[in-house]
Amino acid sequence: MERTVVRCADGHVFSTASFPMQQAERLGPGRLVRCPRCARLRSAVPVTLDREAVGAVQR
């Protein structure tokens, strides 16, 4: 299963295995995902990472 790197509404960056309906462009990029840092359902959007930021992502 492919993992997606996302950023929650509080700015936490993490990877998730479940990022539903990525192909549905009409819904916009944001999805509700449980953030492991703040332990709440947050709006999250996919992010693009630089090489130095890859090590900072929590798995």
The predicted-structure confidence for 15-58, as pLDDT tens digits, reads as follows 888 766 665 566 666 778 889 999 888 888 888 766 555 555 55
Angstrom distance (rounded) from CA 34 to CA 49:
20
Predicted TM-score (pTM) of this structure:
0.64
* 32 beta partners: 43
| pLDDT for 4 | 82
pLDDT value, residue 32:
84
More confident residue, 6 or 31: 6
pLDDT at 2: 77
Distance (Å, whole) CA 33 – CA 6:
9
52's enclosing H/E stretch is helix 51-54
Mean pLDDT of 5-16: 89
Beta carbons of 44 and 15 less than 8 angstroms apart: no
